A and B are shown apart, each in its own frame.
Chain A
Amino acid sequence: AQSVTQLGSHVSVSEGALVLLRCNYSSSVPPYLFWYVQYPNQGLQLLLKYTTGATLVKGINGFEAEFKKSETSFHLTKPSAHMSDAAEYFCAVSDRNNQGGKLIFGQGTELSVKP
């Protein structure tokens, strides 16, 4: 069965610092990979996704993620944090062989940004 592990339930960075949120997946076949962001009292919003092709994926708000098959990882980065980036971030996978499309989510990482 597929699973997703996000290392660190809480990450704190200073404004302007690098943001690195870690995600590792477990799957017999490389899945489709997603990062979502959740702001307080809101639903989840898609940041970016990897399905095929270039392994470095650029998303909204300056975020990007790199798919590394050898490491079964899909870490999310942003070169310079902004106060508005404070939110909860979820990594998710979807089974490439199952056309159902449901997502399996990690436990989430809460990002705090200090002034």
Chain B
Amino acid sequence: DSGVTQTPKHLITATGQRVTLRCSPRSGDLSVYWYQQSLDQGLQFLIQYYNGEERAKGNILERFSAQQFPDLHSELNLSSLELGDSALYFCASSVSQGNSPLHFGNGTRLTVT
């Protein structure tokens, strides 16, 4: 058990809808990272937050947004969903920035129909 909790485990929704994925980092970890895993794109870094502030941005679509709250949990919001957004979304956390290893949750599997 990595200590990172993601909810829900599975999500099925229709095109055009909006969903929110939630992540609770390991106790004491200040950084939260979001990744998208799909068969064709592999593991793609989306965005990172550190102690409530956005710290790095990757291949995140404008339809997607995230935030980290004062209690350090994070949410990833996906809107105007398309079929191609179907993927496994992982949250990871680390103690700090730099070379700290990332600890991954078990992911949320999103299916857009």
Residues of chain A having any CB pair with chain B under 8 Å: 32, 34, 36, 41-46, 49, 51, 90, 94, 96, 98-108
Contacts and interface: CB of A to CB of B under 8 A. Distances in A.
B45 A101 contact: no
Interface residues of B, number: 28
Interface in B18-76: 31, 33, 35, 42-43, 45, 48, 50, 55-56, 58
Most chain B CB inside 10 Å of its own CB: which residue of A44, A102, A104? A102
A11 to B, nearest CB: 17
Contact of A102 (B2, B33, B90, B105): B33
Secondary structure dominating the interface of A: loop
A79 B26 CA distance: 33
B56 A102 contact: yes
B107 to A, nearest CB: 6
